[in-house]
Amino acid sequence: MANVYNTVYKKGNVRVPIKVHLENRMDYRFSIAKRSAILRMPSWFLKKQRTKTYDKFIAWLENHHCRTPDMFTRFEIKQYQDGDDIILFGETYTLDISVTDTDRVRAKVTEDGLTIYIMIPADLGDDRDIHVTTILKKIIPKALKPKVEARLADLAANVVGVEYNNFRLKDSLTNWGSCSGKNNINISIRTLLLPMEMIDYVLIHELCHLIELNHSPAYWANVEKAMPEYKRAENWISAHGNKYYF
């Protein structure tokens, strides 16, 4: 049975979780997955061999970071400050971040929906930005889901002409949305950061999968019927989408 332990690679505002697997294998292997970097090495390696292999892995990771920085965008920790504005689903939300005597990070969205209050302990240190980002990714889906679902329902009924089952906002790093065989629609919360035209494209893209659960010519014909200029949106997301994340 494999043993696993966790560590982290830090470089500037990049934080890459590392999973080290000690396995019944003959040699080591390096890889980068959706949410972590992975080192697999033989469980029979002695301590000196493990340390040497881990050092090689870190050097390999640093080399990838230097050569392909875009690959590491999803591991960057945003630095949110008091008074910052965030555009979410076409509206501007202002962050009101304050240090309080609370023992954990707390947040709420005002009734008018345009201010996000975040209360943080004073002793978070280097972990401050991680905690702020984590709480944002928890509170934003709750606050914005009704607005997003209203738009999804309108597009489903009046543009695409389909019915969906359930809808969820998820913290997905590698796709903007997904559709299941049970007619469930999932949208990444990162999508809410996009301009509204691009958000509509993501919603329409997934709704059209309720007709064709593939990317066949018939599927793209349905997308074009619902959104004749869809290629413009798709090209824009391909070119700029990696800049939009929490």
pLDDT at residue 223 in the model: 97
Q: How far apart are CA 86 and CA 75, in angstroms?
A: 19
Q: Which two tokens stand for residue 82?
A: 């008091």
> Considering only the top CATH level, what class is 85-243?
alpha beta
**pTM for the predicted model, two decimal places:** 0.78
Largest CA distance in the chain: 65
Decide if 50 contacts 219 (C-beta within 8 A).
no
Contacts of 46 (CB under 8 A, 6+ apart): none
Helix residue ranges per DSSP H, 106-216: 128-155, 196-208
Question: For the segment 30-51, what is each residue's pLDDT rounded down to a tens digit?
Answer: 999 888 999 999 999 999 999 9
Per-residue confidence in pLDDT tens, the chain, 246 aa = 458 889 999 888 888 999 999 999 999 999 998 889 999 999 999 999 999 999 999 999 999 999 988 888 888 888 889 999 999 999 999 999 998 887 888 888 887 778 999 988 888 777 788 888 889 999 999 999 999 999 999 999 999 999 999 999 999 877 899 998 899 999 999 999 999 999 999 999 999 999 999 999 999 999 999 999 999 999 999 999 888 888
Question: For the segment 204-235, what is each residue's pLDDT rounded down to a tens digit?
Answer: 999 999 999 999 999 999 999 999 999 999 99
Domain with CATH 3.30.2010.10 in the chain: 85-243
Q: Which two tokens stand for residue 244?
A: 């939009």
CB count in 10 Å sphere of residue 77: 19
Taken as a whole, the chain contains a residue count of 246
